[in-house]
Amino acid sequence: MGRVLLNNIRKIFYFFLAFAFFNVASLRAQVFKVSADKTTVGLGETFQIYFEFDAPDMNSVSGFHAPAFKGFTILGGPNQSTSMQIINGQMSSSVTYSYVLTPQKLGSFTIGTASVKYKGKTYKTKPLTIKVVKGKAKALPKPAPPTQNGIDEQEIAKNVFIRAIPNKTTVYQGEQLTVVYKLYTRLNISSPSLTKLPTYEGFWAEDLDMPNTINFHIEMYKGQRYRVADIKKAALFATKSGKLKVTPFELKIPVLIRRRNRNRSLFDDFFNDPFFSRTETYNYNAKSNSLTINVLPLPVKGVPPSFKGAVGHFNISAKINKNNVKVNNPVSLKLKIWGEGNINLIDVPEVKLPAGFEEYEPKVTTKVNKKDIVSGYKSIEYLIVPRIPGRKVIPPVEFSYFDPAKKKYITLRTPKFEINVTGSASMAENMPAGFSKEDIKLLNKDIRFIKVSGFEFVKKSDVRGIPAWFYWSLIVPLLLLFVAVGVKKHHDKISGNVELSRSLKAEKLARKRLKNAKKALDSKSATLFYEEIAKALYGYLGDKLHINMSEFTLEKVEKKLNTAGIEEELIKKVREIADKCEYARFAPSKDEAAEEKLYNETLELISTLEKKIKKFKK
């Protein structure tokens, strides 16, 4: 028993001996150093100090203890970051603790040693001397009075701010301008909340796709190191030329400011870990810079006749589903326009049909990709019906756009299409213009009841013997003819008046879009729900008030509604729903009850406006 016990003690001894040897060997590579982004600072300036510890095993680092920072105020920290790299097969890693400081008075101050524990051993940095001068303090703006908590907002503003960064400041009308909003911070902050979205007066705006979470990275700005995150991206398309303004983007950012106890005790050193530090939250209102964009008008020289305002880079294709068709049988002509640019603002190209064809309202499908460059396609399907037999030629369809890169107009043409229309010539000749296939069949059927051959004049004395159906066979076709002519005139009036046609179909299209919003609500797709609500409301107002989408603004809508005699409460409701949709595009809500309420409010608003506007027009 004694020998077994002795062997166990010996094994334990060798184990600890090997463990100690391993620690001695591994500790030779450990380095704990201190640095600052500047060692000479002006009174009132801020600077950053870093405590960096190199170690192969980050999980074994613990017990970081910061120095006293006498003569300085801590604005932020400690901010902890780790890094890892592999060079020539050797892995190295480090952990960095950083602070944002500002001096309290002039003079030279020594920042004491910081310490950290690694695998049971304590490491310390060397002292660092910072010289505080007053040279740069005179150039600073007059400081704002401190808040009740003694916090200077100007100091926070130097370390937490938003930048609006455009990819260009001079663009052509209709050309894409991308604005990125970046959040810069050197302080500890919590989740920001939206205060005010920017307004894009004179622009058509599309929010670009962004990740659901805010991801920070390190970036240098004006010689300082910041944690930076992209918080919003927008693609802007100017709808008019001149100097256009983009208002600031505003956020409320909770800033965590660390406080030290004035009367330090033995427990302060023990609980100096950031987890036990006392912090205060200060809600800082950050505002981005405003932008001024120089928008150039499109060249007036060399404008193609088929140009309708498209700007970007596009392609076009066309096809028909059949080249041989019988009279009164439909033919499908499909156009597709795709490329980079504002797909939503592309107008439907004009198709010039030969005589003898009847054209119906085209079906338009649009898909937009909102990456860094807005792109997508617009598909247009025309349904045409030949009414006269023969060999017909549909000329090429022209589509023109302005290319900002080449600074010139470009015209694209589809191939021409030949259609061989077969059928009865007599049927085609007897066809009144504007009648559908079904109308013609009905008329022919009625006429066949009257037989000219064998018809005998009836004597006056025999009139009473003529059956009633004979009179109806004469009257009914005439009544149908008058009705058909009236319908045709009404249809021509609406077709010739594009604004009237849009106005009549406005409510129908809005309800269709609201159905899509309801589907998105049921599938819990918040982003798609708010997009469809906005499309329903904006589309209805644009069609009903005769406002082109390229010139659509809420200010114009309010003026038009005021002119139409709409009550102020309804106008405020329009603005309220529009604001909710805009806010949700930045920060979608997860409140299903609120979304259901917004859906019902939008449906009720459109129904009420439809009645009010109709009543006013009458």
**pLDDT at position 492 over 90:** no
**pLDDT at position 574 over 60:** yes
**Which pLDDT value is given to residue 71?**
85
**Which pLDDT value is given to residue 505?**
73
Mean per-residue pLDDT, 59-80: 80
Which of these, 33, 327, 7, 341, lies nearest to 173 by C-alpha position? 341
10 Å Cβ neighbour count for 435?
A: 20
Which of these, 308, 301, 370, lies nearest to 337 by C-alpha position? 308
Mean per-residue pLDDT, 221-232: 86
**Which pLDDT value is given to residue 435?**
42
**Which pLDDT value is given to residue 434?**
41
164-178, 227-241, 256-270: range with lowest mean pLDDT: 256-270
> Omega of the bond prior to 78 within 30 degrees of 0, cis?
yes
**Which pLDDT value is given to residue 315?**
95
Task: Give the Cα separation of 419 and 388 in Å (integer).
Answer: 12
Please identify which residue in the block is written with the tokens 């002509």. Answer: 333
83-92, 247-256, 482-491, 506-515: range with lowest mean pLDDT: 83-92
The H or E element spanning position 100 is strand 90-103
Identify the three-state secondary structure at position 294: strand
CB 304 within 8 A of CB 412: no
Tell me the range of 214-218, 241-245, 424-428, 531-535 where mean pLDDT is highest.
241-245
CB 234 within 8 A of CB 281: no
Q: What is the pLDDT of residues 402-457, one digit of tens each?
A: 999 999 999 999 999 999 999 875 554 444 444 444 444 434 444 444 444 444 44
Task: Give the Cα separation of 56 and 206 in Å (integer).
Answer: 47
- What sections of 430-567 are H helices per DSSP? 437-447, 468-496, 498-522, 526-544, 554-563
What is the pTM assigned to this prediction? Answer: 0.54
CB 201 within 8 A of CB 239: no
Give the E-state strand segments of 6-71 in sequence order.
Answer: 31-36, 40-42, 47-54, 61-65
15-29, 43-57, 587-601: range with lowest mean pLDDT: 15-29
10 Å Cβ neighbour count for 502?
A: 19
**Which pLDDT value is given to residue 587?**
59
From residue 393, how far is each of 193, 306, 423, 433 by CA, in Å? 61, 20, 17, 20
In the structure, what pLDDT confidence band is assigned to residue 60 with cuts at 50, 70 and 90?
A: confident
Q: What is the pLDDT of residues 132-146, one digit of tens each?
A: 888 644 444 444 454
Mean per-residue pLDDT, 181-202: 87
Q: How many residues does the chain have?
A: 618
Task: Decide which of 329 and 7 is more confident.
Answer: 329
In the structure, what pLDDT confidence band is assigned to residue 532 with cuts at 50, 70 and 90?
A: confident
The H or E element spanning position 394 is strand 390-394
The H or E element spanning position 427 is helix 425-429
Tell me the range of 164-178, 273-287, 482-496 where mean pLDDT is highest.
164-178
Task: Decide which of 77 and 242 is more confident.
Answer: 242
Sorted by sequence, the CB contacts under 8 Å of residue 187 that are 6+ apart come out as 75, 76, 100, 156, 159, 160, 255, 256, 257
**pLDDT at position 231 over 80:** yes
Mean per-residue pLDDT, 613-617: 61
Which of these, 166, 175, 167, 170, lies nearest to 204 by C-alpha position? 175
**Which pLDDT value is given to residue 256?**
82
Average pLDDT of the chain? 77
Task: Give the Cα separation of 155 and 177 in Å (integer).
Answer: 33
**pLDDT at position 356 over 90:** no
Mean per-residue pLDDT, 77-85: 68
**Which pLDDT value is given to residue 148?**
44
Give the E-state strand segments of 167-263 in sequence order.
Answer: 170-172, 176-185, 188-189, 193-196, 203-207, 217-221, 224-238, 242-246, 250-259
**Which pLDDT value is given to residue 374?**
92
First to last CA, the chain: 113
**Which pLDDT value is given to residue 466?**
64
The H or E element spanning position 357 is strand 357-359
Tell me the range of 250-254, 266-270, 409-413, 537-541 where mean pLDDT is highest.
409-413
Q: What is the pLDDT of residues 445-475, one digit of tens each?
A: 444 444 444 444 444 445 555 677 767 777 8
128: left (phi over 0), alpha (psi -120 to 50) or beta: beta
Task: Give the Cα separation of 128 and 113 in Å (integer).
Answer: 8
154-158, 502-506, 534-538, 590-594: range with lowest mean pLDDT: 502-506
Sorted by sequence, the CB contacts under 8 Å of residue 562 that are 6+ apart come out as 571
Mean per-residue pLDDT, 300-312: 92
